[in-house]
Amino acid sequence: MKYYILFGPPGAGKGTQATVMVEKYNLHHISTGALLRKEIAAGTELGLQAKALIEKGCLVPDEVVEGMIESEFKTVTGVDGFLLDGFPRTLPQAEALDAILAKTGEEVTGTVSIMIPDEMIMERIKGRALKEGRADDASEDTINNRIVTYHNQTEPLIDFYSKVSKYHEIDGIGTIEEVRDRIFAVMDSI
């Protein structure tokens, strides 16, 4: 089984590229946001815990998200692997993912990181807010906060996965097709 992590700053095009990666490599896409919504809708124990926290305005703790991801690994069949999008975002989450996979003798296959400069992040997210009517993407302060959070909490994962030769960076500047071709070249080499 393959376990890929799709990595990159907000607005890098992860969602756009995930769709074609899933199709080409027969992967199951695990987006933490979608996973939370699915578990809540299904009324699972983890979903009920998450719903109660969200309704109180709290963040869902790592262990709840980790439990949902582990459940996906155990229950999804008919795929050649998984594409994680939005997890891990921090070093403790990366360590937890390693522990989850180690239980079954598995490990992360590789990370595919789509990188773009901060100015482009701002431009793309603002464009997405207008095009898709996403209020969460409309404020410059919110976008700046997301960029800072990415640099502070998520970028340390570059070093974490580089140390074990599982970090693969893709230039995210160019057309969707150009970026896709770069991703496929890396995926084919992992």
Q: What is the CATH number of the domain that holds 7?
A: 3.40.50.300
Give a yes or no: residue 189 inside a domain: no
Cα–Cα distances in Å, from 99 out to 12, 47, 53, 102, 130? 28, 22, 25, 5, 40
Q: Hunting for tokens 């756009």 — which residue is that? A: 16
Split into its structural domains, the chain has a count of 1
Average of per-residue pLDDT values in the chain: 89
137 pLDDT tier (thresholds 50, 70, 90): low
128 noted as active-site residue: yes
Give the C-alpha separation, 142 to 138, whole Å: 8
- From 172, 187, 167, select the one nearest 16 (Cα to Cα): 172
Element spanning 15, H or E: helix 14-25
Give a yes or no: residue 190 inside a domain: no
89 noted as active-site residue: yes
Residue of 37, 51, 89, 126 with catalytic role: 89
Verdict on whether the full-model pTM lies above 0.75: yes
Residue of 2, 38, 128, 166 with catalytic role: 128
Residue 9 has pLDDT above 90, yes or no: no
- From 75, 7, 78, 83, select the one nearest 46 (Cα to Cα): 75
Range of the domain at 43: 2-183
56 noted as active-site residue: no
Determine what percent of the chain is predicted with pLDDT higher than 90: 54
4 pLDDT tier (thresholds 50, 70, 90): very high
Give the C-alpha separation, 100 to 140, whole Å: 37
Phi-psi region of 115 (alpha: psi -120 to 50; beta: other; left: phi over 0): beta
**What is the model's pLDDT at position 69?**
93
Residue of 14, 124, 180, 182 with catalytic role: 14
Contact 145/38 with Cβ under 8 angstroms? no
Pick the residue with more confidence: 40 or 146?
Answer: 40
Give a yes or no: residue 59 inside a domain: yes
Residue of 124, 146, 180, 182 with catalytic role: 146
Segment of 72-76, 120-124, 140-144 carrying the highest mean pLDDT: 72-76
Chain mean position to CA 104:
22
Residue 104 has pLDDT above 90, yes or no: yes
What's the whole-number mean pLDDT along residues 122-147?
74
Give a yes or no: residue 168 inside a domain: yes
Give a yes or no: residue 94 inside a domain: yes
182 noted as active-site residue: no
180 noted as active-site residue: no
